[in-house]
Amino acid sequence: MIVLASVLAAGALEGCSYFPSRADDALEMFDLGLTFSKTPQFSAYMNCPVIAPIGYGSVDGYYAGMGGGGLGVMKHHQESAGLLVWGREEVGWDEFDPEDADTLSVQGVGVLGLAEEPASEEPYTVACIHYFHLGWVGLAANVRWLEIPDFLAGLFFLDPLGDDGADGCQACEMMAPILVALREKYAGKANVVFVHVREEELLAARFGIRSIPVQVLFDRSGEEVFRHSGFLAQDEIEQKLAELCVE
């Protein structure tokens, strides 16, 4: 029996692509850039590792470089204080309201801080934080430890932090009803299989899936005879099946 395997994953990979998700993961590993403020402000703060915060900083202004999962010039807010065993960090990137804690990443740090204050829904931790700002300009250099293994795992279609693919895959959604129709039309003649890359990560890696959706045709001996990436109309699929003597 001919097998049509279609790799779908609405929302599993951002923009239906493997590569944008990997780029996003790479940008989330480090912050390296300059801070700017319209008025003289000050920050001399570090926390590396997360249990040893020291210093103070309060800067509202702009950031230029790689930071907050983005690249470029963006609004930035940083307010931190640490006394080694206790600390509190508050950071905002690009779109936030410094008066609204729900739009910021807030966490207690240090042994006492971690026990005292729960992290916000999107904490900026576990991280190695370095901020220095004097007057109108400063430097930020941060490492987000958990994002590094997430990036490496993502190369093999694994997503430990569950942050890949916030957006849906329109082409996948368009393919779904076509495959349902093909499954009904060719019942007993061709086996139509749906593969979800989020649920079948090892299988997707085995067949080298780099973007979705993908349609793969296997002949009766199990050999791959056709592969297509992106949306594929029903009549085109049926034409390929006819070439394999499936009517």
- Tens of pLDDT, residue by residue over 236-246, are 888 888 887 77
pLDDT of residue 11: 34
- Whether the per-residue pLDDT at 3 is higher than 60: the answer is no
- Whether the per-residue pLDDT at 197 is higher than 50: the answer is yes
107/169 same-domain check? no
pLDDT of residue 98: 83
38/116 same-domain check? yes
- Whether the per-residue pLDDT at 43 is higher than 50: the answer is yes
In a domain, 159, yes or no: no
Which of the listed ranges 60-69, 114-123, 153-162 does the model predict with the highest average pLDDT?
Answer: 60-69
55/145 same-domain check? yes
pLDDT of residue 6: 54
In a domain, 23, yes or no: no
34/149 same-domain check? yes
- Residue 145 domain boundaries: 29-153
- Total tally of structural domains belonging to the chain: 2
- Whether the per-residue pLDDT at 123 is higher than 60: the answer is yes
43/72 same-domain check? yes
Phi, psi (5° rounding) for residue 228?
A: -145, 135
pLDDT of residue 169: 65
37/147 same-domain check? yes
7/35 same-domain check? no
Angstrom distance (rounded) from CA 13 to CA 22: 10
Which of the listed ranges 15-29, 145-159, 160-174 does the model predict with the highest average pLDDT?
Answer: 145-159
The answer to whether the Cα torsion of 122, 126, 127, 133 is positive or negative is: positive
Lowest mean pLDDT among 58-72, 101-115, 189-203: 189-203
- Whether the per-residue pLDDT at 170 is higher than 80: the answer is no
- Whether the per-residue pLDDT at 152 is higher than 70: the answer is yes
In a domain, 158, yes or no: no
Q: Which domain-ending residue is among 153, 182, 212?
A: 153
Angstrom distance (rounded) from CA 89 to CA 203: 41
197: Cβ contacts below 8 Å, ≥ 6 apart: 7, 8, 9, 12, 13, 157, 204, 209, 212
145/37 same-domain check? yes
Can you tell me the mean pLDDT for 187-215? 76
pLDDT of residue 14: 38
135/40 same-domain check? yes
- Whether the per-residue pLDDT at 119 is higher than 70: the answer is no
As a three-state string, the secondary structure of the chain is: CEEEEEEECCCCCHHHEHHHHHHHHHHCCEEEEEEEEEEEEEEEEEECCCCCEEEEEEEEEEEEEEECCEEEEEEEEEEEEEECCCEEEEEEECCCCCCCHHHCEEEEEHHHHHHHCCCCCCCCCCEEEEEEEEEEEEEEEEEECCHHHHHHHHCCCCCCCCCCCCCCCHHHHHHHHHHHHHHHHCCCCEEEEEEECCCCHHHHHHCCCCECCEEEEECCCCCEEEEEECCCCHHHHHHHHHHCCCC
Can you tell me the mean pLDDT for 60-88? 94
In a domain, 160, yes or no: no
**Maximum CA extent, the chain:** 76
130/179 same-domain check? no
The domain that holds 210 is classified in CATH as: 3.40.30.10
123/42 same-domain check? yes
Give the rounded percent of residues in the chain with a pLDDT score beyond 70: 82
pLDDT of residue 188: 81
35/128 same-domain check? yes
Angstrom distance (rounded) from CA 178 to CA 164: 26
In a domain, 136, yes or no: yes
Residue located via tokens 């020291």: 54
